[in-house]
Structure 1
Amino acid sequence: MAADDRLEDEALEGDALARRLREAHRRVRASPRAEKERLARKYLAICDLAKRDPERAAARLDAFLEALGDTPRGHENTGGD
């Protein structure tokens, strides 16, 4: 494996995390007003973690998205790009 291949793999992983973060942002925006502030704080904490530890951020994002799926408007949310 060439060094460039490894960089491309890391870029693809970063793109997937970015797409999932974008989807989480859409779902937070669509959440009920009463929950939006709490969810936004959690979302921002995951974004901050993604800068330092993308693997751990991805795991937290999985749990966050799963919890968002249980929100009253979760069924209205569609997949990202």
Structure 2
Amino acid sequence: MERDSQLKLYEVVADRLKEAHTRVRTLQVPEGVRMALTRKLLVITAAAKHDLADAARRLDRLMKDLDEGRFPEGD
């Protein structure tokens, strides 16, 4: 049973990561901001390999920031 819920969480996180990448790619923001957001997504993707629940929380925060128009500083 635990394994089934873990697989479902992987599926949900993977789908949401795809959605987040699409949103970041289509944002009308300076390239530096887009790169910073892409780096955040890559960190979340890497975290998912080791701590899926933490990656899901990070992704939730990132998506909320995107929804509210809060973007990181670009380089």
Q: TM-score normalised by the shorter chain: which range applies?
A: 0.7 to 0.9
Farther-moved stretch of structure 1 (59-68 vs 6-15): 6-15
* Match in the other structure for 2:2: 6
- CA-CA distance at 1:33 after TM superposition: 4.1
Structure of higher CA gyration radius:
1
Identity value in percent: 34
C-alpha contact (below 8 Å) 1:21/1:47 kept by paired residues: yes
Query: What is the RMSD computed on CA atoms of the aligned residues?
Result: 1.6
C-alpha contact (below 8 Å) 1:31/1:71 kept by paired residues: no
Q: In structure 1, what is the Cα distance between the partners aligned to 2:66 and 2:42? A: 15
- CA-CA distance at 1:13 after TM superposition: 1.3
Structure 1, gaps ≥5 residues long: 73-81
TM-score of the two chains, using structure 1 as the length reference: 0.75
Structure 2, gaps ≥5 residues long: 71-75
TM-score of the two chains, using structure 2 as the length reference: 0.80
* Match in the other structure for 1:31: 27
* Aligned mate of 1:22, from 18, 29, 44: 18
